[in-house]
């Protein structure tokens, strides 16, 4: 059995949603079904139906995507937690930070649901622009981005930087990069705005009131902060402040991973979401796996990686970290 103190649970963000996510978990385990019932009751809408059956165009709207991904991550986490799973640290990419706070019991699922639904609504309403990922380091892409009024939105890897800006400004950046670095190809992200940049300031100004209205508890597990790159303090005031700043500042994801590696994390489990062309949950791939493994290689760090995003991967994760098959006894 793996030492819980050396395990980190990671949660993906927007872009890892897919029609069909979670129905297999709800069909297999009552604890997962209860999470989806909770999102429907909490939002007074059938979001579970949207998760499971679409349509995709509605699911990818930010105001729907964020609570939907929270629910899928929480459902996967709940099933494995019921099997005795414990961790030493949690982290989430952008939206995933809210799933991490739920896992650490710093935030109730009901409160997190209200926050991410409002967060998604505000980001979709007040934000503008788009985002592109570049296989380039910060020092190289930043001056090109700033020349065209674009801003750094995320530092995923030493050689992967995300920027945000208006569509025409991003096109200018992409054109300049193509001319100066012909082998560097940008990847335009599917978002409703330039998240984690100055385009989100107005959304953050509105969101601070929602953050202030929700109760945070001292976390039971260390939670990594996208804004600082290190751990959150346990003080709820600090957590609120960093979530506020997270909306319009770069996601320091690589720093989060390096911090975890430095603490000797040797097992990483990714919960929720799924990408790829497969139409069924069992065919989906985890969203963060590539970044995690590249970050380990760059840092010279070794750790076991396991996904927990569908029935089989959750069972495999339970066997790996808990050494138990008792997870099968949780059928409705």
Residue 73 shares a structural domain with residue 118? yes
Residue 107 shares a structural domain with residue 139? no
For 96, residues 6+ apart whose C-beta sits below 8 A from its C-beta are 10, 11, 12, 13, 69, 73, 272
Residue 139 belongs to domain spanning? 130-189
Q: What is the CATH number of the domain that holds 147?
A: 3.30.70.250
Residue 145 shares a structural domain with residue 264? no
For 107, residues 6+ apart whose C-beta sits below 8 A from its C-beta are 98, 101, 115, 214, 216, 217
Residue 173 shares a structural domain with residue 228? no
Q: Kindly name the residue from 72, 93, 196, 254 that is annotated as catalytic.
A: 196
Q: Kindly name the residue from 16, 31, 73, 94 that is annotated as catalytic.
A: 94
Verify whether residue 48 is a known catalytic residue.
no
Task: Provide the Cα torsion 43, 101, 151, 300; round to 10°.
Answer: -140
Residue 324 shares a structural domain with residue 217? yes
If one counts the domains in the chain, the total is 2
Check residue 323 and give its pLDDT: 72
Check residue 2 and give its pLDDT: 77
Out of 146, 168, 189, pick the residue that ends a domain: 189
Residues lower than pLDDT 70 in the chain? 1, 324-326, 328-332
Verify whether residue 94 is a known catalytic residue.
yes
Residue 219 shares a structural domain with residue 318? yes
Residue 147 shares a structural domain with residue 261? no
**What is the three-class DSSP state of 319?**
helix
Check residue 44 and give its pLDDT: 84
């Amino acid at each position: 059995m793996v030492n819980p103190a050396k395990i980190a649970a990671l949660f993906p963000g927007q872009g890892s949603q897919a029609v069909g996510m979670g129905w297999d978990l709800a069909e297999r385990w009552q604890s997962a079904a209860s999470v989806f019932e909770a999102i429907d009751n909490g939002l007074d809408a059938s979001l579970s139906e949207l998760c499971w059956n679409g349509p995709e165009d509605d699911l990818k709207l930010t105001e729907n995507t964020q609570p939907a991904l929270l629910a899928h991550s929480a459902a996967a986490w709940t099933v494995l937690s019921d099997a005795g799973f414990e961790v030493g640290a949690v982290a989430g990419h952008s939206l995933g930070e809210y799933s991490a706070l739920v896992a650490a019991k710093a935030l109730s699922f009901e409160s997190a649901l209200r926050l991410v639904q409002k967060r998604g609504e505000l980001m979709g309403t007040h934000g503008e622009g788009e985002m592109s990922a570049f296989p380039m380091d910060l020092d190289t892409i930043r001056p090109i981005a700033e020349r065209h009024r674009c801003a750094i939105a995320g530092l995923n890897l030493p050689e992967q930087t995300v920027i945000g800006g208006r569509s025409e400004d991003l096109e200018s950046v992409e054109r300049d990069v193509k001319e100066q670095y012909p082998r560097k190809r940008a990847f335009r992200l599917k978002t409703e705005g330039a998240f984690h940049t100055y385009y989100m300031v107005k959304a953050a100004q509105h969101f601070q009131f929602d953050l202030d209205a929700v109760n945070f508890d001292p976390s039971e597990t260390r939670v990594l902060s996208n804004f600082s790159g290190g751990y959150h303090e346990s003080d709820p005031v600090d957590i609120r402040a960093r979530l506020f700043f997270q909306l319009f500042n770069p996601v320091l994801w690589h720093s989060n991973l390096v911090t975890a590696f430095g603490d000797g994390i040797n097992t990483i489990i990714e919960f929720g979401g799924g990408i790829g062309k497969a139409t069924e949950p069992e065919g989906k791939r985890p969203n963060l796996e590539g970044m995690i493994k590249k970050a380990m290689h760059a840092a010279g760090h070794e750790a076991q990686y396991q996904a927990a995003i569908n029935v089989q991967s959750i069972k495999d994760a339970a066997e790996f970290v808990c050494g138990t098959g008792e997870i099968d006894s949780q059928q409705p």
